[in-house]
């Protein structure tokens, strides 16, 4: 694709209108699109969340769609988990330079399949110490208004960079996690390291969880909704929101909210964890009862 001078000027004006610095490439599935920076209503400090006593004052993912929890994980924990994951690769796929991991080549096996180390990472003590930590459960209890939330046994890890074949297409988690009470379940997305627009961060389609009837007919047999984010936002008369995510932050989002990721433009890989928390045991998807594998069909 080539751009004329007028095209580039028009694109810079669009980026300016959406509060994105000119020169940043907002790109997903190989196509350019626009996104607004998510407002402060979509984020809350971890300690402030815990100090809230009244359910009426708690942020609601059924209303907002997603919430960024600030300063949840220490930098030391993030560094430890990145080292644990990338040290599982032994054939020169990754290299550490100046405390930064660089993606050199893809593993011979697809992500999380066969002998790919991703499926082993979810079994490590370091992974489970974070995923099953009291801190994460405390947040889940608050978000779900639950006394004792339940963690789904199927926990996922993903890593990709500019060398990876694709990003995360626009989809809803409710197509993958089946429950009769979708608002009683939340996805907890935990980035471990860089997760901004250059490193494939998650982005959310504003109020898409409130347009369920319009969206149901758009879901393909592959359980995705679209690879063209600009067209999808236009058709649903809404816009994409880009949360500001700093190291140590995590995101909770509802199963009905459409989300996707930027294409990565960096050799520094984005590493992230996906967890599912339910308010009650009965809200869990029984097909998610086993440990994750990249080829388990879910």
Give the model confidence (pLDDT) of 150-178 as tens digits.
999 999 999 999 998 666 889 999 999 99
CA distance linking residue 15 with residue 92, whole number of Å: 38
Residue 18, in any domain of the structure: no
Confirm whether 21 is domain-assigned.
Answer: no
Which one is predicted more confidently, 97 or 17? Answer: 97
User: How high is the pLDDT of residue 27?
Assistant: 65
Query: pLDDT tier at 71 (50, 70, 90 boundaries)?
Result: very high
CA distance 239 to 286: 34
**Which band of pLDDT confidence, cut at 50, 70 and 90, is reported for residue 254?**
very high
If you count them, how many residues does the chain have? Answer: 298
> Does 276 have pLDDT greater than 50?
yes
- Whole-angstrom distance between the N-terminal and C-terminal Cα of the chain? 35
**3-class secondary structure for 131-142?**
HCCHHHHHHHHH
DSSP letters of 64-83? HSEEEEES-S-HHHHHHHHH
Q: Is residue 12 part of a domain?
A: no
Which residues is 296 bridged to in the sheet?
A: none
- Domain membership of residue 25 (yes or no) is no
Confidence (pLDDT) at 76? 96
* Residue 293 confidence (pLDDT) above 80: yes
Contact (CB, 8 A) for 36 and 239: yes
Q: Does any domain span residue 6?
A: no
Q: Is residue 86 part of a domain?
A: yes
Considering its fold, how many domains does the chain have in total? 1
pTM of the model: 0.88
In a domain, 28, yes or no: no
- pLDDT recorded at residue 22: 36
Q: Is the pLDDT of residue 10 over 60?
A: no
53 near 98, Cβ under 8 Å?
no
Residues 66, 75: Cα–Cα separation, whole Å: 23
Domain harbouring 146, CATH code: 2.60.120.620
* 217-241: average pLDDT: 92
> What is the token pair recorded at 207?
């109020």
Its domain, for residue 47, covers: 34-288
The 10s digit of each residue's pLDDT in 11-35 is 445 434 333 433 344 666 666 778 8
User: Taking the CA of residue 236 as centre, how many other CA atoms within 13 Å lie in the half-sphere pointing to its CB?
Assistant: 27
Establish if 15 belongs to a structural domain.
Answer: no
Predicted pLDDT of residue 206: 96
Higher pLDDT, residue 32 or 281: 281
């Amino acid at each position: 694709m080539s751009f004329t001078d007028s095209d580039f000027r028009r694109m810079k004006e669009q980026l300016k209108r959406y509060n994105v610095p000119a020169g940043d490439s907002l790109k997903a599935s190989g196509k350019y699109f626009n996104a607004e920076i998510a407002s402060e209503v979509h984020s809350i400090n971890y300690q402030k969340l815990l100090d809230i006593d009244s359910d009426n004052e708690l942020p609601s993912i059924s209303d907002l769609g997603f919430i960024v929890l600030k300063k949840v994980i220490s930098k030391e924990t993030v560094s430890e988990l990145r080292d644990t994951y990338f040290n599982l690769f032994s054939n020169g796929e990754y290299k550490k330079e100046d405390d930064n991991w660089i993606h050199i080549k893809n593993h011979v096996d697809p992500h999380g399949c066969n002998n790919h180390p991703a499926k082993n990472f979810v079994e490590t003590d370091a992974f489970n110490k974070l995923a099953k930590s009291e801190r994460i459960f405390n947040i889940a209890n608050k978000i779900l208004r639950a006394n004792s939330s339940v963690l789904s046994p199927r926990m996922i890890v993903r890593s990709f960079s500019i060398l990876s074949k694709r990003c995360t297409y626009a989809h809803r988690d409710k197509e993958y996690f089946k429950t009769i009470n979708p608002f009683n379940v939340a996805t907890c997305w935990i980035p471990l390291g860089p997760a901004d627009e250059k490193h494939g961060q998650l982005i959310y389609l504003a109020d898409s969880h409130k347009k369920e009837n319009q969206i149901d007919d758009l879901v393909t047999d592959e359980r995705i909704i679209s690879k063209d984010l600009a067209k999808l936002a236009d058709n649903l008369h809404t816009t994409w929101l880009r949360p500001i995510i700093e190291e140590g932050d995590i995101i909770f989002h509802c199963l009905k909210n459409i989300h996707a990721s930027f294409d990565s433009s960096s050799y520094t890989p984005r590493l992230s964890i996906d967890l599912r928390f339910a308010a009650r045991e009965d809200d869990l998807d029984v097909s998610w009862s086993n440990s994750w594998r990249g080829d388990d069909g879910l």
